[in-house]
Structure 1
Amino acid sequence: MSDHLLEHVRPYLDRDPAERIAYVRAPRWIGHQVAQRGHERLADLLARPPSLRTQGLMLVGPYANGKTMIAERFAVEHLRRSSEQRLWMIQTREGAGLGHFYGSILQALRAPGGDLHDVNRKAEQLDHLLATLKPRMLIFDEFHNALRGRTRDLEAVFAFLRRIGRQYDISPVLIGEVAIYDFINTTSEMASRFDLFAVPRWQYNEEYLMLLDSLEAVLPLARASDLSDERLARRIFNLSEGLIGEIVAIVTKAVIAAIRSGAERVTKASLDRLHYLPISQRRNTPMREELL
């Protein structure tokens, strides 16, 4: 009856509903083809020979599409395999100017940030840390946060990215929305320093159906739902608008509802009962009008 589940998932069918729901809600890695190719690109960049003009990488795509998870998983695997930390992930702060940008890096390196406006002091502190830690890669998540300032602020950030390559042999990885691609390609000089790895919306194809099969195999329902069947797969795809974060959210909500109701499987009718709204439709909904 549980042949549709992976072997390590089947014992969860004997747990109480609260434990099963907690397991369903837990974050999980989905090793789809785009993610695997992303890891290959990051691994190639980390393994490159020393250079005075390092190459960087852009991971660009729409929100809620797994870009951060690809990078975080790569960073975790690196820490597990390597005795020496060679990359750091940085959450780029919102706000214009080098003060905010330097603060993001110092926080990731677990250094005190100090006065936000003392940019020279931050630069000295950062130079000392980079010389000491000798990272080969800095991954800037939500780098589009750094692109909202004045032209001179952006020029200073890009100058810093060029300098860390020349001075410290560091490859920057920029993660975020398509604005990153647009800004990097404003000048040929910056465009020549960054390769692109696109993380586009999913298409309704065999790879998407395989993703649904993978999800069904790790979410403990006693009965098979056949998520990759045309009616269910098409419904999930339309609701998610091709975003993997939304695909996982929809399936997760449907599985939790199936556990609570005792149905133990997802159907098109149970999907409809979720009343799930695609992201593009949430701005002008009757529910929003009730909030005014």
Structure 2
Amino acid sequence: MDLNHLGPAQQEIAGRSDEERVRYILSDRWVPYRVAQLVEDRFRFLIDFPKRSRMPCLLVSGDPGMGKSLMAEKFIRDYPTSFNEGTGATIRPALHLEMPDEPTPQSIREELLGALGAPPGKSDNRTVARLVDSVGCRLLFIDEFNKIGDVSPKQQTLCLTAIRTLHNSLRIPLVALGTPGADIAIRLDPALAERFEVLGLPHWGSNDDLRELLMRVSAVLPLRRPSAMDTQRFRRLLIDATSGVTSRIFRLLETVAIAAIRNGQERIDEDSLSDDNLLLPLVSMVRNRRPKAMA
């Protein structure tokens, strides 16, 4: 077989059984693309930012499925936990916590204690800041930041004040991840809003960015024939089915790749997306599938 359309690692996998190739397609992997690289570069800028009295912050804003949490998780994997044998300390350069469903100042601190692996309990900002400093944390991610908008105005004020004072104590950059409503929540505290820049994640369109993504994806899917995804119609069909949402795009490409293995076609093309028997992988995508016209 001529497998030059695949990367070196995927060429070896393409020679394996169908089931092994399907498991590989369904496994986690990171496929880089331009916007994700811009976000990662900003994360690296923040984690290496020199100490000063007012550290910068970043809000990464995007609809569900645009990859915000995955970008943070990937970045944290790139800065893994380590153990300093000289000091006996565990070093955690980046921490990730999820905003509680009903956030309060205390519940936010408890989530941060959980991210540190510390026992739960009441704590104040100074205690939490000392624990964060003790593990050498240089960047803190707060996911689902938009949940602050779901509580009462009084609780919103208390939570935002707690985050601002915690930021003062930590003296490290904060990265908030959330849906577009997160910026509204941040603006409720004018002092906090002055610290955050915003980086939005747009939906995909049928453009050069999508062409580059599809080229990268085609090189990692272990199909034995070159796919034909570099056409305007293919991109339009893909956007129509997914509304340009990142997670939907990847799930749909995985689905048609597995179908190509099962039916022996061994490639993805326009017919893969227009097949009436295609079972869309996510409930959120069903409404985007146009029904077949009546004869």
Offset at 1:109?
Answer: 1.0
How do 1:176-191 and structure 2 match up within 5 A? 176-191=178-193
Query: Distance in 1 between the 2:143 and 2:170 partners?
Result: 20
Of 248, 253, 261, the residue aligned with 2:250 is 248
Of 90, 99, 102, the residue aligned with 2:97 is 90
Query: Which residue number in structure 2 is paired with residue 2 of structure 1?
Result: 3
Query: Which residue number in structure 1 is paired with residue 237 of structure 2?
Result: 235
Which deviates more from structure 2 when the two are superposed, residues 244-253 or residues 231-240? 231-240
How do 1:140-289 and structure 2 match up within 5 A? 140-271=142-273, 272=275, 273-276=277-280, 279=284, 281-282=286-287
Q: Answer 1 or 2: which has greater helix percent.
A: 1
Offset at 1:31?
Answer: 1.2
* 1:114-169 superposed Cα distances (whole Å, 9 cap, x missing partner): 4xxxxxx2337534423533522210112222332122222222122222232221
* 1:86-113 superposed Cα distances (whole Å, 9 cap, x missing partner): 2201122212322332222121111222
Which deviates more from structure 2 when the two are superposed, residues 33-42 or residues 105-114? 105-114
Query: Which residue number in structure 1 is paired with residue 88 of structure 2?
Result: none
Query: Which residue number in structure 1 is paired with residue 29 of structure 2?
Result: 28
Q: CA RMSD for the aligned pairs?
A: 2.5
User: Relative to structure 1, is the Cα distance of residues 128 and 50 closer, same or farther in structure 2, using a 3 angstrom cutoff?
Assistant: closer
Unaligned runs of 5+ in 1: 115-120, 287-292
User: Relative to structure 1, is the Cα distance of residues 264 and 131 closer, same or farther in structure 2, using a 3 angstrom cutoff?
Assistant: closer
User: Relative to structure 1, is the Cα distance of residues 97 and 55 closer, same or farther in structure 2, using a 3 angstrom cutoff?
Assistant: same
Query: Distance in 2 between the 1:49 and 1:128 partners?
Result: 19
SS in 2 for 1:9: helix
Query: Distance in 2 between the 1:144 and 1:34 partners?
Result: 21
* 1:235-266 superposed Cα distances (whole Å, 9 cap, x missing partner): 11211111111110000000011111111112
How do 1:28-177 and structure 2 match up within 5 A? 28-79=29-80, 84-114=91-121, 121-123=122-124, 126-177=128-179
**Alpha carbons 1:65, 1:244 under 8 Å: kept:** yes
Query: Distance in 2 between the 1:202 and 1:260 partners?
Result: 29
TM-score when normalising by structure 1: 0.87
Which deviates more from structure 2 when the two are superposed, residues 187-196 or residues 247-256? 187-196
**Alpha carbons 2:97, 2:143 under 8 Å: kept:** yes
* 1:211-249 superposed Cα distances (whole Å, 9 cap, x missing partner): 011101100111112112222222112111111111100
Query: Distance in 2 between the 1:230 and 1:31 partners?
Result: 22
Unaligned runs of 5+ in 2: 85-90
Aligned residue pairs: how many?
A: 280
Q: What percentage of aligned pairs have identical amino acids?
A: 26
Query: Distance in 2 between the 1:82 and 1:52 partners?
Result: 28
User: Relative to structure 1, is the Cα distance of residues 82 and 177 closer, same or farther in structure 2, using a 3 angstrom cutoff?
Assistant: farther
Which deviates more from structure 2 when the two are superposed, residues 52-61 or residues 137-146? 137-146
Offset at 1:54?
Answer: 1.8
Which deviates more from structure 2 when the two are superposed, residues 243-252 or residues 74-83? 74-83
Query: Which residue number in structure 2 is paired with residue 289 of structure 1?
Result: none
Partner amino acid, structure 2, of 1:33: R
Partner amino acid, structure 2, of 1:147: G
Offset at 1:281?
Answer: 4.9
Partner amino acid, structure 1, of 2:190: S
Query: Distance in 1 between the 2:28 and 2:234 partners?
Result: 23
**Alpha carbons 1:139, 1:173 under 8 Å: kept:** yes
**Alpha carbons 1:24, 1:219 under 8 Å: kept:** yes
Offset at 1:20?
Answer: 0.4
